[in-house]
Chain A
Amino acid sequence: MRAFTFERASSVEAAAKSVASNPDARFIAGGTNLLDLMKLEIETPTHLIDVNGLGLDKIEATTDGGLRIGALVRNTDLAAHETVRRDYGLLSRALVAGASGQLRNKATTSGNLLQRTRCPYFYDTNQPCNKRQPGSGCSALGGISRQLGVMGVSEACIATHPSDMAVAMRALDAVVETVKPDGTIRSVKIEDFHRLPGDTPHIETVLERGEFITAVSLPPPVGGRHIYRKVRDRASYAFALVSVGAIIQSDGKGRVAVGGVAHKPWRLEAADVELPKGAKAASGALLAGSRPTEQNKFKIDLVERTLGAVISEARG
């Protein structure tokens, strides 16, 4: 870990400006991802801006009947919130499937969205990795790739986004609210928020330098059965091999987002349309054009089977 200076932000605008003016500055929220990365020198900021004290830790109803989640709301609090549990059960279930109780007590909404991949080569600074060091190559291609992506992958990177929470937010059509350093506010649909790796896997979202997440808002509840099924080798405290987040209505229609397969939570309108026909059809549409490796091709089958179980649970 490199030495760094530390600042407690006085306002959202000041925080955004501070990061914008210093290329080696980062926001720090719960710190559960950033600090680990700093210890391994995968991230080497020289200045940290603590954004925990800005009052962004509230969950409020919106006028259109939705919910606005402050960026600094802890994962534990979000999962336990009454409205979330009642109307957005998928989100609550996805959150508690992630990490551990202690981590969720620290982890925040914005930090969770921005957590970085768990590709093992990303964590070893001796190894080439385009995401960590652009242009150095991708060690996972031809290497150990069991955990990694099968959809939207590129020659430069096949990493996945590891968040459970984001999968639920994708299915719920969440919107990310931000403030830019110049004070402009914008709303980014979750589907547009994370990028595919392409040639620039080190650029993971559409956020601009210094752009600060203030909240994530959810549209009014859509009803239906909310099921989050996370598949992993051990029973707890492990990232998903794949996860399926689905909202299924009584007529069999619904939506499905999948984790553990791509650089972003993976959902396609075309697959949602197929849902009433069953898992084979929906997963076929969802994973059309997949590019798995020898080590992770099982994910194709696994998504279909898991979705099958989710659909029958929704019916039963």
Chain B
Amino acid sequence: MKFETPAKTNPIDNLKVVGQPIHRIDGELKTTGRAMYAYEWHDPNLHYAYGYPLGSSIAKGRIKSMDVAAAEAAPGVMSVVTTLSVGELGKGKLNTAKLFGGDEIQHYHQAIAVVVAETFEQARAAASLIKVEYQEESGTFDLAEAKMSAVKPKDTDGAPPDTAVGDFDGAFYAAAVSMDETYTTPDQSHSMMEPHASIALWHGDELTVWTSSQMIDWWRSDLATTLGIDKEKIHMMSPFIGGGFGGKLFLRSDAVLAAIAAKATGRPVKVALPRPLLVNNTTHRPATIQRIRIGADKSGMITAIGHESWSGDLPGGGPETAVMQTRLLYAGENRMTAMRLAELNLPEGNAMRAPGEAPGLMALEIAIDEMAEKLGLDPIEFRILNDTQVDPEKPERPFSHRNLVGCLKLGAERFGWNDRKKPGARREGNWLIGLGVAAGFRNNLVMPSGARVRLGNDGVVNVETDMTDIGTGSYTIIAQTAAEMMGVAVDKVGVHLGDSRFPISAGSGGQFGANSATSGVYAACVKLREAVAMRLGFNSDDVVFENGEVRSGNRSVPLAAAAGAEGLVGEDTMEWGDLTDTHQQSTFGAHFVEVGVDLATGETRVRRMLAVCAAGRIINPITARSQVIGAMTMGVGLALFEELAVDTRRGFFVNHDLASYEVPVHADIPYQEVIFLDETDPMSSPMKAKGVGELGLCGVSAAIANAIYNATGVRVRDYPITLDKVIGDLPEVA
């Protein structure tokens, strides 16, 4: 099915199941420990071996030699495969740095060997016995230093690196009120709970891989390329994923090492990346330096807006696309954006937790707050004044649906925004209290997505798609979609995900998963409904699927009966026409935060949070809320403490464990309120839904930064906003 014209009324609009607050259908499996994560697959008939990876101890150079004699002789060891012994391997299309093979070292903790032993402990102990001789080369590790040599990037996810409309320079200099500030965001780590892990098993030339992947087909294709085998020979499964946040979008070394180790030993081999390797062996979100200039007339209308961003990556990599939202969020006749990319020899930078918009809004939404203050306007008023219903770079392109203003207004009312005081003016005991707001914005992406739906003679509907559930609720919303379409209850739907034998789906990333994958299920269900109608001799236009029955006129047949002995199958892929070109599809939000800053120590603690989201139809308010509060939690981390500390001499992230890379703990997170505006977007899909997960993050950190400013009068433009950046300007302690 191709989605080419705005959705009309369709069976989803019945909202008997879709839109209902249904608890996760896989919840019980998870709470009882029966959901099998990658490393936990255990077939008692298989005799697993354990692979332990060794990472490079230098950031750049070549390996001269490796001495594996001691490791090979260690107890329990079956095989030691090194990056030298395996020779050159292919590089996946979506990987920047190669994952294994050859003597070149491109980054710290790059995988250089895998030791396979009878037990995990034996493999780990032996790995440390490998001696490596390197030819170390100097590299560039400091973005601030490399900024001068940054160039216009080629690859920016299909968008131009630079855009310009009108005469930005002229308008900026002529503006009655203007601001020009630079903001920085640090390198950040996904830090999901489940590490990358894979089990590989060969039967002849056929490879089976259990892994933890957000994108089955991307992984399968890139694993085939890396190993130089036919993709069809790989069977990949990833039914449960303990978080990915972008870190599991692209093939990683665990799958490659497991496959190679399994080949070398003829055994099924388990490989998990140890936590210290997660940071430097895999990907991270690159640091940014962002300059924002805004000019406005006295009334507060933006006349010029410019956003430039610098980031770095390994050769062949891409930039952090931090200027994207600035192209779309606010009006203004004269505008410019530009991205520049420096070459850095740090580990690979790539997608993490709302790439582009998350760090982009961290800067832009502070700038908006600063500008509002200069203009003497309330920051909400300033945002409303500069709202736009069209793509400001291409005014002929309207937004499909945009209610940022509604989010801001409702949020202001619910949060008690009017109680906000002047900076530094509200004190409770030892706490300085402040309120902050930021706009939330994230584009709604759509991806082709396929599914197969089987109707059995027991009336049960089974959905198969290689879609993944990374903790988001895919199982549940897919069940809801199929239940609504086929007129059955959710408990009459089985959902089977994350298996390369199933139709290729959107996968999970860029908040495109829910809308795209349920649309794919919708398309397959349309096919199945046609098959049912045909079998029953019904005119498919007036068939109603309801309460486990199929009705046409005054005829009514149980759905189970229509299935026949063999059952019926519907399979299709949702593809997308040009509605995303003719219309700008985005999701909107308003984030409100109250913080307390300790007068003496400068510690910031978040006291209240509210997100108001306008993101099309909400398929399930429970799972959507979970997405948003999880994202808001990440926003707290990014605002207050998440930072990969770069050793710019040796070229690696020093704090490579969860004790030193701090993510929020329960005590950091206060009551979080989420409101979804009741809306649909017929331009987005037959579901009339959009992405929502990443929207929950976009803007949060800036709202916190603005709240800290309101609390203290101290404006910090370098994230994370730790106490050392604040205390110097706090009042004396009594």
A-to-B contact residues, CB < 8 Å: 1-3, 39-41, 118, 120-121, 123-127, 139, 142-144, 146-147, 229, 231-239, 241, 279, 298, 301-302, 304-306, 308-309, 312
Contacts and interface: CB of A to CB of B under 8 A. Distances in A.
Contacts of A239: 659
A309 B430 contact: yes
A279 B601 CA distance: 13
Contact of A233 (B276, B599, B723, B727): B723
B667 A236 contact: yes
Contacts of A121: 654
6 contacts: A2-B125, A120-B645, A139-B647, A144-B647, A233-B723, A279-B733
B727 A1 contact: no
A123 B657 CA distance: 9
Contact of B662 (A123, A143, A238): A238
Nearest to B129: A2
A235 B669 CA distance: 9
B75 interface: yes
B650 interface: yes
A236 B666 contact: yes
A231 B601 contact: yes
Given A120-B654, A124-B654, A144-B647, 12 more contacts: A121-B654, A126-B57, A144-B654, A231-B723, A234-B640, A234-B668, A235-B665, A236-B668, A302-B723, A302-B724, A308-B733, A309-B601
Given A120-B654, A124-B656, A309-B601, A234 B645 contact: no
A106 B21 CA distance: 41
A120 B644 CA distance: 12
A1 B654 CA distance: 21
Nearest to A126: B57
B655 A120 contact: yes
Given A1-B125, A3-B125, A234-B641, A309 B667 contact: no
A301 B125 CA distance: 45
Interface in B58-77: 75
B40 interface: no
A125 B276 CA distance: 11
Nearest to B650: A127
Interface in B411-460: 430
B647 A235 contact: no
Sorted from nearest, which 6 A-B pairs have the closest CB atoms?
A308-B733, A126-B57, A309-B600, A298-B724, A235-B667, A236-B667
B673 interface: no
Given A124-B276, A146-B645, A312-B734, A237 B124 contact: no
A302 B601 contact: yes
A302 B722 CA distance: 12
A3 B118 CA distance: 14
A146 B665 CA distance: 21
Nearest to B636: A234
B471 interface: no
B170 interface: no
Nearest to A41: B128
Interface in B633-657: 640-641, 645, 647, 649-650, 654-657
Given A123-B657, A279-B733, A235 B668 contact: yes
A232 B647 contact: no
Contacts of B665: 234-237
Interface string B115-138: 000000100110010000000000
Contacts of B430: 309
B672 to A, nearest CB: 15
Given A1-B121, A146-B645, A302 B657 contact: no
A243 to B, nearest CB: 11
Contacts of A231: 601, 603, 723
B75 A3 contact: yes
Interface string B709-734: 00000000000101110011010011
A54 B708 CA distance: 52
A119 B403 CA distance: 49
A301 B726 CA distance: 11
Given A121-B654, A236-B667, A279-B733, A298 B641 contact: no
A1 B728 contact: no
A295 to B, nearest CB: 9
A298 B728 CA distance: 8
B548 interface: no
B601 A306 contact: yes
Contacts of B90: none
A118 B660 contact: yes
A311 B720 CA distance: 29
B605 interface: yes
A142 to B, nearest CB: 7
A301 B728 contact: yes
Nearest to A297: B724
B102 interface: no
A2 to B, nearest CB: 6
B74 to A, nearest CB: 9
B727 A298 contact: yes
Nearest to B75: A3
B664 interface: yes
A302 B727 contact: yes
A305 B397 CA distance: 55
A46 to B, nearest CB: 11
